[in-house]
Amino acid sequence: MKTEKVSELTTNRLSVYLRCLNDLAAAGAETISSHALAEQFNLNSAQIRKDLAYFGEFGIRGVGYYVEELRQHLLKILGLTEKRRVAIVGVGNLGTALANYPGFNRDSFEIVALFDNDPAKTGIRTRSGLAIQSTEKLCDVIKHENIEIAMIAVPASAAEKVLEEITEAGVKAVLNFAPIHLNPKPGVKVKTVDLTTSLESLSYFLVNPNSQGADGVNLDYREFLSQETGANGAGD
Amino acid sequence: MKTEKVSELTTNRLSVYLRCLNDLAAAGAETISSHALAEQFNLNSAQIRKDLAYFGEFGIRGVGYYVEELRQHLLKILGLTEKRRVAIVGVGNLGTALANYPGFNRDSFEIVALFDNDPAKTGIRTRSGLAIQSTEKLCDVIKHENIEIAMIAVPASAAEKVLEEITEAGVKAVLNFAPIHLNPKPGVKVKTVDLTTSLESLSYFLVNPNSQGADGVNLDYREFLSQETGANGAGD
DNA sequence: AATTGTGAATTCCTTCACAGCC
DNA sequence: GGCTGTGAAGGAATTCACAATT
């Protein structure tokens, strides 16, 4: 087990591998090779082995990986064996959709608080029975409820303020849906999902179809999740 | 103007620059330097100049870039000067949120069709007055309405089928919200926004706070948008 | 024989540093 | 003096290729 820094590209992939292993386990598969796993995602098999090698030696030469065992390792690595408490700030259409989104692993993430600054909304319950609270209570509730993760689903103009407040309250991990660059304090991780940028970047590829890769072969080129601007340092 | 391949990281950044230029233009700024722009995003100024240099020489030495002029160039480069017609497939919570999302540039993207396979939903209108149609009509409507972009907001199990159908109908650009890897046909661009992976990857950084970058300095390391697994080729 | 784990090679991306221009 | 555009350098991520292992 090494202690090099692990890039976000790697952690994203680990999550994808995990999803696949869940399916394989459900289907009753005993083992899987890096090659077979790689095929599922148009990835190189060495990539998968390298990703896993950051954390240990989980495979068996000549055999591959035991599905259930590797699944457990990934759960552990990604910190999904403990349930984390999540708040959503901004309960408009997007916030509501996130609150009801069935895709989050509910064993690992429990949404326990919703906040909105619109007084007309406070007290209203979502489908799950959770009541919307005033943003005035943000700090208090986050502390009392031991909330570790926040999703920001407010307009861009309000996002910075929200980040400050939840940081103040001790939140260390933020999934930001506001289309704005946020500058978190040290020790706070912000991951932005920018729908505007995703769509506009797609538009580019409509105008330049050939820029996708090459000649008929779909290279599946860098299609997925989670890089902001690639910013690597503090500018010049 | 070069004709090298432009990476998706670059197009994502162009979209971010554009958003900033919109704000600058609204605030009445005449010019902006790459350095000043870079500061907004914790980016290196050379990065910005390089990104722009793929498409032309837009700046003036000693001065910087004319805000409005550069804005127009970016609109053109990203293909945002023409209005593109968009369909949303899957009108659950997420699809509804997307249909009503105020952050999309409505001058460039017009949502003109909503599809859902639940008969109980067909005919229902969203806030904007758009009626939900049966997925049976997917292909016909996409062709007749000249739809160029589709957003997939159906469960993972249905996403592959939807991709096939919209590809059949001629859609070349897809924003996929289903948590699954899709294998598009050549010439079709799929960009996946994987909420599950975003959240699980955040979880990793909660367990490994130091892996974020270094000692107190927030490096803003690779925080943003839009890489799948980094897949670069067709495996081995 | 099959498959892992990994050093070396490669490819891609970012940053430096400075000539050229305003 | 200030800023762009860019070749060269540096760094990061991916892929190759093979020794090691079952």
Which pLDDT band holds residue B211 (cuts at 50, 70, 90)? confident
Whether pLDDT at B1 is above 70:
no
Determine, for residues B200 and A18 on separate chains, whether the beta-carbon distance falls below 8 Å: yes
Which pLDDT score, from 0 to 100, does residue A236 have?
A: 41
- State pLDDT tens for residues A157-213: 999 999 999 999 999 999 999 999 999 999 999 999 999 999 999 999 999 987 754
Q: Which nucleotide is nearest to A31 (CA to C1')?
A: C3
Which of B199, B182, B175 has the alpha carbon at shortest distance from B94? B175
Instruction: Tally the C-alpha atoms within 13 A of residue B3's C-alpha that lie toward its C-beta.
Output: 2
More confident residue, B217 or A14: A14
Asked if residue B220 has pLDDT above 50, the reply is no
Percent of all residues in chain B with a pLDDT value above 70, rounded to a whole number: 88
pLDDT-derived band at A140 (thresholds 50, 70, 90) equals very high
Question: What local confidence, expressed as pLDDT, does residue A57 receive?
Answer: 97
Q: Which residues of A touch B35 (CB under 8 A)?
A: 235-236
β-strands A84-89, A173-176 pairing: unpaired
Tell me the residue length of chain A: 236
Task: Give the span between the Cα atoms of A93 and A70, in whole angstroms.
Answer: 37
Rg (CA), chain A: 20
Taking one residue from A and the other from B, the number of pairs with CB-CB distance under 8 angstroms is 400
Whether B154 and B175 have beta carbons less than 8 Å apart is answered as no
Q: How confident is the model at residue A127 (pLDDT cuts 50, 70, 90)?
A: confident
pLDDT at B10 over 90: yes
Strand D interface, A 43-82, C-beta < 7 A: 43-44, 46-47, 50, 60-63
pLDDT of res. B235? 36
Q: What pLDDT score was predicted for residue A99?
A: 97
Bases along strand C below 7 A from a protein CB: 1-7, 12-17, 20-22
* A185 part of contact set with chain B, CB < 8 Å: yes
For A33-44, what is the mean pLDDT? 97
pLDDT tens per residue across span A8-25? 999 999 999 999 999 999
More confident: B4 or B78: B78
* Cα distances (Å, whole numbers) of residue A1 to A10, A53, A205, B109, B210: 15, 7, 40, 48, 16
Q: Which two tokens stand for residue A109?
A: 């993430």
Say how far apart CA A28 and CA A50 lie, in whole Å: 26
pLDDT digits 0-9 by tens, B103-135? 999 999 999 999 999 999 999 998 889 999 999
Q: What are phi and psi of B112, to 5 degrees?
A: -120, -5
| Cα A95 from chain centroid (whole Å) | 16
- Cβ density class A202-216: b for 16+ within 10 Å, e for less: bbbbbbbeebbbeee
Least confident interval from A66-75, A87-96, B77-86, B209-218: B209-218
Is residue A33 pLDDT above 80, yes or no? yes
Please indicate if any CB of chain A lies within 8 Å of the CB of B39.
yes
pLDDT confidence band for A2 (50 / 70 / 90): very low
Q: Give the closest residue to D16 (Cα–C1′).
A: A46
> Do the bridges between strand A31-32 and strand B189-192 make them parallel or antiparallel, or are there none, so unpaired?
unpaired
What pLDDT, on a 0 to 100 scale, did the predictor assign at position B127? Answer: 87
- pLDDT computed for residue A229 by the predictor: 58
Average pLDDT over residues B41-51: 97
Q: Kindly state the tokens that stand for B112.
A: 């003109």
What is the per-residue DSSP string for chain A? Answer: -------HHHHHHHHHHHHHHHHHHHTT--EE-HHHHHHHTT--HHHHHHHHHTT----BTTTBEEHHHHHHHHHHHTT-SS-EEEEEE--SHHHHHHHH-TTS-TTTEEEEEEEES-TTTTT-B-TTSPBEEEGGGHHHHHHHTT--EEEE-S-HHHHHHHHHHHHHTT--EEEE-SSS---PPTT-EEEE--HHHHHHHHHHHHH-GGGGSBTTB---TT-SS--SS---SS--
Residue B214 predicted with pLDDT over 80: no
**CA atoms within a 13 Å half-sphere pointing along the CA-CB vector of B82:** 11
Q: What pLDDT does residue B3 have? A: 55
Angle, CA of A94, A96 and A100, to the nearest 5°: 115
| pLDDT score at B228 | 54
**What is the residue-averaged pLDDT of chain A?**
90
Backbone phi, psi, residue A118, to 5°? -85, 115
Q: How far is A101 from B18, CA to CA, in rounded Å?
A: 31
> In the structure, how far is the CA atom of residue B219 from the C1' atom of nucleotide C15, in angstroms?
15
* Tens of pLDDT, residues A145-157: 999 999 999 999 9
A232: CB within 7 A of chain D nucleic strand: yes
Q: Poorest-confidence range of A3-17, B53-67, B86-100, B189-203?
A: A3-17
pTM, to two decimals: 0.92
Residue A215 predicted with pLDDT over 60: no
Q: What is the mean pLDDT of residues B160-164?
A: 98
The pair of three-digit structure tokens given for residue A10, joined into one six-digit string: 């790697």
Fill in the amino acid letter for A235: G
Which chain A positions have a beta carbon within 8 Å of B175's beta carbon?
198-199, 202
pLDDT at B224 over 50: no
Residues contacting nucleic strand C by the 7 Å CB criterion are A 33-35, 45-46, 49-50, 52-53, 57-65, 222, 229-233, 236; B 7-10, 43-44, 46-47, 50, 60-63, 232
